Amino acid sequence: MGIDFNEWKNLLLLHKLALDDLETKINITAEEGKLLGEENPIEHIKRRIKTPESIIDKLQRKGLLVTVGSAEANLRDIAGIRITCSFVSDIYKLYEHIQKRADIEIVETKDYIKNPKPNGYQSLHVIVKVNLHLYTSIQPVYVEVQLRTLAMDFWASLEHKIYYKYDRQVPEYLTQELKEAAESITALDEKMKNIRDEVEVIRTTTDQIMLPL
Ligand code: 0O2
């Protein structure tokens, strides 16, 4: 039986609007940071809305009722936003900011940076609830926010391609290599942080020397 796209249209539209809303909030924060002379913690933002096929697939995998109502009640990642940062510290800085905001409610946090998945996957996952102010009502909508570094993103996108290329049955030697690559990613993130800290020390020392007496 085919999918009745009309049935899903409203659900997907709500999630699109929630993404618009959240992305604007995050961009305002980044712009404000620039005004205050801070470095922008965000490298880039990507967003996606699950297709009806992928929503149905997930409901079936979880043994849930395959209806629009069931998707709305049970899934919290129909809308997803991925924020890529240069440094791990930027991720936690943004996370703290989201925690403090009164207009975004954090519902669940999964820290795969402090506790990577067994395959090496790293990211900070945060399910948030935004209240969408519509004409006639205020509609709560869930969005999955994934925060990761550029290096983590590089790893995850390659792993994702390999996972689907091998139809979820990745050969053991590749799994092992991906795990090793994930360890290198952690080491690289740490090294980049140290370089940034060193540059920061030089910059503040130079600023002090340049200060008029
Ligand atoms: P897509 O195409 O990105 O939307 P749940 O959502 O609770 O049923 P789970 O696994 O507990 O399932 O959720 P979790 O851990 O928060 O991960 C959900 C999303 O994180 C995935 O979405 C991926 O985007 C990403 N992710 C999680 N684990 C991995 C991994 O091992 N490798 C890569 N590359 N990405 C991962 P979707 O819906 O699977 O896919």
Q: What angle do CA 15, 19, 20 make, to 5 degrees?
A: 115
Of residues 3 and 107, more confidence is placed in: 107
Of residues 202 and 53, more confidence is placed in: 53
* Confidence band, pLDDT 50/70/90 cuts, at residue 212: low
State the residue for tokens 């930027």. Answer: 90
Query: Does the pLDDT at position 108 exceed 90?
Result: yes
* Atom number of ligand 1 nearest to Cα 48: 4
Q: What is residue 200's predicted lDDT score, i.e. its pLDDT?
A: 81
Query: Does the pLDDT at position 34 exceed 90?
Result: no
Q: What is residue 48's predicted lDDT score, i.e. its pLDDT?
A: 97
Q: What is residue 149's predicted lDDT score, i.e. its pLDDT?
A: 97
ipTM over 0.95: no
Segment 96-120 shows an average pLDDT of: 95
Q: Where exactly are the structural domains of the chain? A: 5-150
Q: Spot the catalytic one: 31, 39, 144, 159.
A: 144
What residue ranges line ligand 1, CB within 6 angstroms? 77, 80, 110, 117, 119, 121, 125, 156, 159-160
Of residues 204 and 166, more confidence is placed in: 166
3-state secondary structure the chain: CCCCHHHHHHHHHHHHHHHHHHHHHHHHHHHHHHHCCCCCCEEEEEEEECCHHHHHHHHHHCCCCCCHHHHHHHCCCCEEEEEEECCHHHHHHHHHHHHHCCCEEEEEEEECCCCCCCCCCCCEEEEEEEEEECCCCEEEEEEEEEEEEHHHHHHHHHHHHHHHHCCCCCCHHHHHHHHHHHHHHHHHHHHHHHHHHHHHHHHHHHHHHHCCC
**Pocket-testing residue among 75, 160, 165, ligand 1, by greatest number of atoms within 8 A of Cβ:** 160
* Confidence band, pLDDT 50/70/90 cuts, at residue 2: low
For the chain, give the percent of residues with pLDDT over 90.
76
144 is catalytic: yes
Q: What is residue 211's predicted lDDT score, i.e. its pLDDT?
A: 62
Q: What is residue 177's predicted lDDT score, i.e. its pLDDT?
A: 95
* Atom number of ligand 1 nearest to Cα 77: 6
* Atom number of ligand 1 nearest to Cα 146: 20
Segment 153-163 shows an average pLDDT of: 95
Q: What is residue 213's predicted lDDT score, i.e. its pLDDT?
A: 56
**Pocket-testing residue among 77, 112, 127, 128, ligand 1, by greatest number of atoms within 8 A of Cβ:** 77
| CATH code reported for the domain at 5-150 | 3.30.460.10
Q: What is residue 30's predicted lDDT score, i.e. its pLDDT?
A: 83
Nearest Cα residue to atom 24 of ligand 1: 146
Report CA(138)–ligand 1 centroid distance (Å).
29
